[in-house]
Amino acid sequence: MQQRWVKLPNGNVIDANRIVFISRPESYPKMDEEGNDGIEWAVMIGTNLTRDSHISISGNKDEIGALIGKLVGAAG
């Protein structure tokens, strides 16, 4: 199977073909450096079922939505 590299919001890349699960996106309140309130989104992805292979990815709603779309192949 050919590798399908996807760029994560933090700048790292991951082979989308190695991912075995994607959690439901969750939102939580966050304050930025200037003290402004906002909403941050996070999703857990795993390349194996063991806990040490889980990666937590956070970003804004658009970044997380685009990431999930790329991982499931909807955004090519």
Domain count, the chain: 1
CA distance to 16, 55, 58, per residue, from 1 (Å): 11, 22, 28
CA distance 70 to 76: 6
pLDDT in tens, 19-42: 999 999 999 999 888 888 999 999
Q: Looking at residue 74, what is its pLDDT?
A: 52
Question: Domain span at residue 42?
Answer: 5-71
Residue percentage of the chain with pLDDT more than 90: 45
In a domain, 62, yes or no: yes
